[in-house]
Amino acid sequence: MIYSDKVMEHFSNPRNVGTLPDADGVGQVGNPVCGDMMTFYIKVKDDRLADVKFQTFGCGAAIAVSSMVSEMALGKTLDEAVKISNDSVAEELGGLPKNKMHCSNLGADALHKAIEDYRAKRAAGVRKGEAQVAHPAQKTDQGCPYCDGPIEGIEEYCKKCQVELEECAHCGELTNKNAEECTHCGARIA
C-alpha cells in the first residue's frame, strides 16, 4: 500500500491532537467494519473555528485524515468548514488508496457533526431565551429580513410586516418563525 508523502507526514506528525474540555461542539463517528473512531472538538468565536482538536483511534490513514481535516478547518467560518468534503480531504493529502477512502469520509463527517452539535446547542439556548437575553442589543439592531423594518424587543417581532421571527439553528440569522425553511440558508425549521 503506497501513501503520499503528505499522508506519511500527517501520520508521523499529526497536528491538533487532543481534546477541548470546554468545547463548543463535539462530533464523533466510527466505522464498525475497520474499527476507526474519530472525535472532533471545536471552539467557535465570531462564527469561525478558533480551535479544532481531534482524537482518532485507527489506522495511519485515519490519523492523517484527522490531522488534515483539523488544519483545513481551523480559522474557517462554520459555513466554509461544512463544505470540507471527503474528496477535498483526499486531494489535500495527495490521494488515498481506494481501500482507505472511507477514512476521508469519517474525518469530514466528524467535523460536520461537531458543527451540528454546536449549532444545536446554540439553538437550544435561543429557545430557552438565554441568547436573546444575553444579547438584546444585537437583536434589536438587526432589521427584519423581510421588510428591513425594526425588530421590537426580545420577542423578535416586526411591527412593520407583523412577522414573528426566530434565530435559525443552522445559520444563526433571523427567519420567519412559522416558515418551513430558513430565508437565508434554506434549512428546514423544526
Query: Mind listing the pLDDT tens digit for each residue in 130-165?
Result: 444 333 333 334 567 666 667 766 557 776 667 777
Q: What pLDDT is stored for residue 143 in this prediction? A: 67
Q: What pLDDT is stored for residue 127 in this prediction? A: 53
CA–CA gap between residue 37 and residue 4 (Å, rounded): 22
Q: What pLDDT is stored for residue 185 in this prediction? A: 65
- Report the catalytic residues: 34, 103
Comparing CA positions, the residue from 116, 91, 96, 94 lying closest to residue 26 is 116
43 vs 141, which has greater pLDDT?
Answer: 43
Which residues have a Cβ under 8 Å from the Cβ of 128 and sit 6 or more positions away? Answer: none
Positive or negative: CA dihedral 154, 155, 156, 161:
negative
Amino acid type, 96: L
Please, what are the domains in the chain? 5-125 (3.90.1010.10), 129-176 (no CATH)
> pLDDT tens digits for 64-122?
999 999 999 999 999 999 999 988 988 999 887 777 766 667 889 999 999 999 999 88
CA–CA gap between residue 17 and residue 181 (Å, rounded): 37
Grid coordinates given for 184: 437565508
Stated pTM of the model: 0.64
